[in-house]
Amino acid sequence: MKKWVPLASGLLAGFVAATISFADFSSPAKTDSASASNKTDAEKVYVPLGQKDDYYLMSSGGHSGQLFVYGVPSMRKIRTIPVFSQDSATGYGFDEHSKKLMGGYTWGDLHHPALSETNGDYDGKWLFATDVGNSRAAVVDLKTFTTKDIIKVPNTAGPHCAAFVTENTEYMFLPTRFAVPLGQKYESLDNYSQKYRGVMSAVTFDEKNVKLNIAYQVALPPWSYDLSDAGKKSSKDWAVMTTYNTEEATTTMEVKASQADRDYIVLFNWKELEKMVKEGKYENVGGQKMIFPEKQTGGIYLVPVAKSPHGVDVTPDGKYFIASGKLAPAMTVFSFEKAFKAIENKEFAGNRNGIPVLKYESVMEREVNPENALGPLHTQFDDKGMAYTTMFISSEIVKWDPKTGKTLDRVPVQYSPGHAVSAEGDTVSPDGKWIIALNKLAKDTYLSVGPSHPESMQLIDLSSEKMKIVQSVPADPEPHYAQMIKADKIKAIEVYPKDKNNKDATYSQNDTKIVRKGKEVHVYGIAMRSRFVFDAKSKRPDVIEVNQGDHVFIHLTNIDFDEDITHGFAINDYDLNMEVQPGQTNTMEFTADKAGTFPLYCTNFCSALHQEMNGYFLVKPKK
């Protein structure tokens, strides 16, 4: 229904709605200064028909397992990319390729998207994401906005903070949120401190073969690892991760994991770890190269930080990392340079689990404590190096100067922001211009839809000294983090090119065929406006007939090499649907266990004769 309905009603309704809200904002009847500035706000976010947004916003879909793509400044949602969860709209998780990618799981919890980087800037090629729900990592191709590879990460239970990539996408690091025994074997919680580990994985991306690989893992202490960031410029060989539950509590975490005054930031040098692996300084654990930091020392240090920190962000110049303690009112600015000196001079305050602890005073640059600000979580940056930190409890964004600690501005948001994302705000060269508060609660902001309300995203204009909210949109769960990239960096293709090496592909009607090998039936068919052809030589080329119990493969190629002409393929009552985008070949595999007559049809509105694009799937009963 994609084409027709939006044109006839959806788009029109949307357009009318946009016009009405625009008219409301700019109503000439209101002449007070508030409405005048509202008009400016509306104009700032209004992208007229025919024009396009300046930025793509790649937003985490949380426990929907998906990734949402928005345009900025319009805040219009453009696309849902299924990554870790099934999606019947695109057939993701139904066709063979994506079913295999999903590895037998049906859902995921996608927290942190990470765009690939070259020299510390987004290059617009790939997007990585991790799944806290079922411990996986994925890569999305930004030429097609589709998921290309997913790997399962062993010895890890919930790679939360990741992915964050190093300056040239050499690695993304995936620390675990929950400590588990190696191999995730059964082990009594009484042995937690001895047997459980908080494993971090170093994942590489093989761009040529579009494959994610685990290069090595590190068996860190059994703590929970939270947000993390890679160094930049002078700190580019380093990365930082926050920890909590260094108390190693095994029950009633909300009380016991917050007892100690300090937790740690793990500061590690990935070049050193890489060297250890090259020199064979690891143990083989279930096929993984595992570094045990208490045995192979060097490269990993702990920095004490206010208890239960959540976010840690590296400044664009790579000189500082800023930690935010969700239970503390302060942000702490640490200096990489000081940390390097402290390491050189061995300014240690003992060790934890064999990992040296650096002296807090040796690394800390300043503590920043904006008046009455509570629950700092995550920090983003603008083009002038200014920091913007979300305050979860006091529901605001605070703008401040990391070099002086001075608070510059604050804006209330609705409500309880988790992350915020500014334009290219975690690269070496942020754009400024916009920051979006990703709020956990909307409460009374939108029309009520029952007891559970949507989350919200609020667009804040950074073009003047004072921050100003100019747009507020409801969001599906759950905007954990997002990244905002300049639109012209993305080079999406319009059709899939012909692939001569793809044995499942059929590019002409005359080559269509149905091949039987015993109980296996392979259909090599095409979809085009406005018909299916499964066997051109057959009396009814759009009919597939099999015997009950046959194992059926339907290889379908969309031979409309035309912009936006996508076909769908569903078999009524067989619980199957997939999509073939222009030029694409997809395979559906299933056992025809139900005898009967089942209409098959195109699910994606493709032409004026879309409604005629159908046929029959006939299953002869067993005698």
Residues that bind ligand CUA (CB under 6 A): 527, 567, 602, 604-606, 610, 613
* Closest of 217, 227, 204, 220 to residue 151, by C-alpha: 204
**Residue nearer to ligand CUK on the CB measure, 257 or 552:** 257
Please list the residues that pair with 547 across neighbouring strands. Answer: 620
The verdict on 376 binding ligand CUK (CB under 6 A) reads no
Given a contact cutoff of 8 angstroms between Cβ atoms, the answer to whether 51 and 34 are in contact is no
Widest pairwise Cα distance in the chain: 84
Site for ligand CUK in 133-192 (CB under 6 A): 160
419 is a site residue for ligand CUK (CB under 6 A):
yes
By beta-carbon proximity to ligand CUA, the closer residue of 37 and 611 is 611
Q: Which does 93 bind (CB under 5 to 8 A by kind): ligand CUK, ligand CUA, none?
A: none
* Interacting partner of 180 out of ligand CUK, ligand CUA, none (Cβ under 5 to 8 A depending on kind): none
User: Which CB sits closer to ligand CUA, 145 or 605?
Assistant: 605
User: 418, 454, 583, 615: which one contacts ligand CUK (CB under 6 A)?
Assistant: 418
Residues 6 or more apart whose Cβ sits within 8 Å of residue 169: 116, 117, 118, 123, 126, 205
**Which CB sits closer to ligand CUA, 303 or 523?**
523
DSSP string for residues in 375-441: -EEEEEE-TTS-EEEEETTTTEEEEE-TTT--EEEEEE-SS-EEEEEEETTTSSS--EEEEEEEES-
Min CB(244)–ligand CUK separation in Å = 12
What b-and-e string marks burial along 539-577, b requiring 16 or more CB atoms within 10 Å of the CB? eebbbbbbbeebbbbbbbbbbbeeeebbbbbbbeebebb
User: Backbone phi, then psi, for 571, in 5-degree steps?
Assistant: -110, 120
Cβ proximity of 173 and 241 under 8 Å: yes
Q: Assess contact for 139 and 128: CB atoms under 8 A.
A: yes
Shortest CA distance to 134 belongs to which of 65, 68, 202?
Answer: 65
**Residue 176: both structure tokens together:** 């675990």
Q: For residue 468, what are its two tokens?
A: 């100003």
Among 481, 524, 569, 617, indicate the residue that binds ligand CUK (CB under 6 A). Answer: 481
DSSP-derived letter for residue 8 is I
* By CB under 6 A, residue 112 contacts ligand CUK: yes
Question: Least distance in Å: CB of 177 to ligand CUK?
Answer: 9
222 binds, among ligand CUA, ligand CUK, none (CB under 5 to 8 A by kind): none
Binding status of residue 241 toward ligand CUK by CB under 6 A: no
| Minimum distance from residue 313 beta carbon to ligand CUK (Å) | 11
- The least CB distance from residue 529 to ligand CUA, in Å, is 7
Least separation in angstroms between CB 293 and ligand CUK: 25
Q: Report the alpha-carbon distance of residue 612 to residue 538 in Å, rounded.
A: 19
Choose which of 153, 214, 363, 377 interacts with ligand CUK (CB under 6 A).
377
What is the rounded CA–CA span in Å between residue 296 and residue 299?
9
Q: Please select the residue that binds ligand CUK; options are 63, 99, 111, 610, rule is CB under 6 A.
A: 111
Half-sphere exposure of 325 (CA within 13 A, CB side): 24
Nearer to ligand CUK, 378 or 610 (CB): 378
Q: Which does 25 bind (CB under 5 to 8 A by kind): ligand CUK, ligand CUA, none?
A: none
- Write out the binding residues for ligand CUK, residues 303-322 only, by CB under 6 A: 310
Identify what 610 binds: ligand CUK, ligand CUA, none; CB under 5 to 8 Å per kind: ligand CUA
Distance from C-alpha of 335 to C-alpha of 328, rounded to nearest angstrom: 20
Interface residue with ligand CUK, options 214, 227, 420, 619 (CB under 6 A): 227
Total number of residues binding ligand CUK (CB under 6 A)? 11
For the beta sheet containing 146-152, the strands, ordered from the edge strand earlier in sequence to the opposite edge, are: 114-118, 121-131, 136-141, 146-152
84 in contact with ligand CUK (CB under 6 A): no
Closest distance between ligand CUA and the C-beta of residue 581, in Å? 11
Of these partners, ligand CUK, ligand CUA, none, which one is at the site of residue 533 (CB under 5 to 8 Å by kind)?
Answer: none
Main-chain dihedrals φ then ψ at residue 567, nearest 5 degrees: -110, 155
Minimum separation from the CB atom of position 174 to ligand CUK (A): 13
Q: Based on the shown chain and the rule CB under 6 A, indicate whether residue 197 belongs to the binding site for ligand CUK.
A: no
Residues that bind ligand CUK (CB under 6 A): 111-112, 160, 227, 310, 377-378, 418-419, 480-481
